[in-house]
Amino acid sequence: MRLSRYLLPVSRETPAGAEIVSHQLMLRAGLIRQTAAGIYAWLPLGLRVLDRIASIVRREQDRAGALEMLMPTIQPADLWRQSGRYDAYGPEMLRIGDRHGREMLYGPTNEEMVTAIFRDCVRSYRDLPRILYHIQWKFRDEVRPRFGVMRGREFLMKDAYSFDMDMDGGRASYDAMFTAYLKTFAALGLRAVPVRAPSGPIGGDLSHEFHILADTGESEIFYDAALDDIDLRDAAAPERLRTLYAMEAEEHAKVANCPVPPDRLARRRGIEVGHIFFFGTKYSAAMGLEVQAADGGMVTPLMGSYGIGVSRLAGAIIEASHDEAGIIWPESVAPFDLGLVNLRPDDPACAEACAGLEDRLEAQGRTVLHDDREARGGEKFATMDLIGLPWVVTVGPRGLATGTVELKRRSTGERHELSMESLLARFGGVASGTAA
Ligand code: ATP
Ligand code: MG
């Protein structure tokens, strides 16, 4: 992609009203634009990131056996009257009337809708267990939308719903999602800590929030410092994380005898990026979902719901990964794999070399943002640092004379010269994974 044909409104100024660094950087790097309080348009560069986050979330849901579907954003109020939540939900719900005066709403979540769909499609125990999910926009009229996409009013969420015949099955579905969440956040380049959350009427330990530890987080977390030493990619990590102590401040305050000795009790702020919750028959019973069991009797399935804040994650990743100069995208979600800076677009040899590199890298499955604009080198480097592509290749007449280009790694700043052939070899087949 040539930058001269792209839409990338970058800015040096710190935008007014953007309090935290991720919000400032998302605006400055031309990822998003606000269109109303808590509502954002995703510009081309931002959409690429959002799509990559969503596709990692999708991949891990699929691997866990969940089935993707797509439910609409607009829902009839009647559905919510069946569960009894229509009046209870309060002013966070955006209520809409259609031309016939029917009451509708912009969905803040989908428990009612998915329960009604499952009720209408499924009759027998043979159709269970199932986990259904979708990645869809939600609307919640937050009292205080802030921090950009971190607490928006319109935001993208992955929400999954499990249906099981009995408690053993329910626990297995919950565990599958717990593990899928750890894999998802690790693949996004994040360290997410599962925090015990209030579990509602059923009790037990089947409610967790996943938090990214960051000073700008809205929640305060108390946890066993032994957590910091766990390798989240380790197969044994889920079990260890389930047993180690981690709670939000409000819940921690209710604990009479904290099992963690004071010198091992860590206290950090966290950004909630996911929440998993098992609630049994709360919606299935209220909405008349029943299936026939093997013995012929009728059973009310047990359910859980499992959310991930897909758009919030874009901000959370930046909170966790940036420096003075800008964003540092993990390779798994970067909007382009490489930046390509032409120092002298007016020099035909440079222009030709850059066009050739762009083509060949893309033929090898790499995405490239090629800065072919007539602008000063310093400005181009500053833009690349700001938008945070993992690698930047610089092409200038001096290097070209000896057939070399410069490769810089954004995360460490380390740079070295190499031939064009070794550059292409290094960023060879995508299937083999990321470049060293
Ligand atoms: P919070 O306590 O942050 O308001 P919640 O408990 O209301 O979150 P859930 O209903 O569990 O959130 O939604 C699932 C996920 O959706 C959350 O873990 C979070 O990552 C994301 N999310 C919730 N509200 C917002 C919002 N206003 N803007 C962006 N993402 C959100
Ligand atoms: Mg909320």
Instruction: Please tell me the number of the ligand nearest to residue 142's CA.
Output: 1
pLDDT tens track for 47-104:
999 999 999 999 999 999 999 999 999 999 999 999 999 999 999 999 999 999 999 9
For ligand 1, whether the C-beta of 370 sits within 6 Å is no
| CA 157 to ligand 1 center in whole angstroms | 8
Residue bearing the CA closest to ligand 1, atom 21: 309
Give the domain 336-426 fold: Rossmann fold (3.40.50)
Q: Does domain 3-323 sit in CATH 3.40.718.10?
A: no
For ligand 1, whether the C-beta of 309 sits within 6 Å is yes
Instruction: Please tell me the number of the ligand nearest to residue 181's CA.
Output: 1
Arithmetic mean of pLDDT, 274-302: 97
Six-digit token pair at 117?
A: 């769909």
Arithmetic mean of pLDDT, 182-203: 87
| CA 317 to ligand 1 center in whole angstroms | 16
Q: Given this model, what pLDDT does residue 433 score?
A: 44
CA dist., res. 37 & res. 400, Å (int): 49
pLDDT at 435 over 60: no
| CA 435 to ligand 2 center in whole angstroms | 39
State the amino acid at position 168 in one-letter form.
D
Domains in the chain: boundaries = 3-323, 336-426
CA neighbours within 13 Å on the CB side: how many for 223? 29
Q: Given this model, what pLDDT does residue 238 score?
A: 86
DSSP single-letter state for residue 374: S
- Residue 212 phi, psi (nearest 5): -90, 125
pLDDT tens track for 151-180:
999 999 999 999 999 999 999 999 999 999
Give the chain's radius of gyration (CA, Å).
Answer: 25
Q: How far apart are the first and last CA of the chain?
A: 23
Residue bearing the CA closest to ligand 1, atom 13: 307
If you write DSSP's letter for every residue of 283-302 in order, what string do you get?
HHHHTT--EE-TTS-EE--E
Residue bearing the CA closest to ligand 1, atom 8: 272
Q: Given this model, what pLDDT does residue 436 score?
A: 43
pLDDT tens track for 357-411:
999 999 999 999 999 999 999 999 999 999 999 999 999 999 999 999 999 999 9
Instruction: Please tell me the number of the ligand nearest to residue 152's CA.
Output: 1
Helical packing angle, 44-63 and 310-320, nearest 10°: 110
Residue bearing the CA closest to ligand 1, atom 25: 151
For ligand 1, whether the C-beta of 140 sits within 6 Å is yes
Question: What is the pLDDT confidence band of residue 201, given thresholds at 50, 70 and 90?
Answer: low
Ligand 1: nearest atom to the Cα of 209: 18
* In 292-415, alpha helices (H): 310-320, 348-363, 377-387, 397-401
Please name the residues in contact with 132: beta carbons below 8 A apart, sequence gap of 6 or more: 66, 67, 69, 114, 118, 160, 161, 163
Q: Given this model, what pLDDT does residue 240 score?
A: 87
pLDDT tens track for 310-354:
999 999 999 999 999 999 999 999 999 999 999 999 999 999 999
CA dist., res. 106 & res. 33, Å (int): 22
State the amino acid at position 191 in one-letter form.
R
Q: Given this model, what pLDDT does residue 268 score?
A: 95
Mean pLDDT, the chain, rounded, equals 95
| pTM of the predicted structure, to 2 decimals | 0.96
Max distance between CA atoms of the chain, in angstroms, equals 82
Ligand 1: nearest atom to the Cα of 273: 20
